[in-house]
Amino acid sequence: MTTQHVSDSSFEDDVIKADGPVVVDFWAEWCAPCKQIAPALDEIASEMGEKIKVVKVNIDQNPSTPSKYGVRGIPTLMIFNGGEVKSTQVGVNSKGKIVDWIEESI
């Protein structure tokens, strides 16, 4: 499984109503730290695909969702489960730290 892009209009179906936990990456094309963690998130999506789904929300193209969830800095990662935010992480971390955070949160 790979990361998938979701929009303001698809967020409800792709994240809120999803079966199981979803890691949401709020990012922007101009954000160097966002690009830095993207390969790690792609690897996590393929390695942990049975446990979690990883999606990306471009904050420039989809301003409503980040605003609704109080995203102030990017990259911001949020874990949703059962339609609710379970955990949030802001900034760049190593793949190992992101995996640890996901494991603790789900």
Give 42-93 pLDDT, tens digit per residue.
Answer: 999 999 999 999 999 999 999 999 999 999 999 999 999 999 999 999 999 9
User: Whole-prediction pTM value?
Assistant: 0.96
Judge whether 95 counts as a catalytic residue. Answer: no
Identified catalytic residue from 31, 45, 57, 78:
31
Q: How many domains does the chain have?
A: 1
pLDDT of residue 14: 97
Pairing of strands 76-81, 22-27: antiparallel
* Distances from the Cα of 99 to the Cα of 2, 55, 72, 91, angstroms: 15, 15, 23, 14
Judge whether 34 counts as a catalytic residue. Answer: yes
State which residues form the domain around 19. 4-105
Identified catalytic residue from 6, 22, 24, 34:
34
CATH of the domain at 9: 3.40.30.10
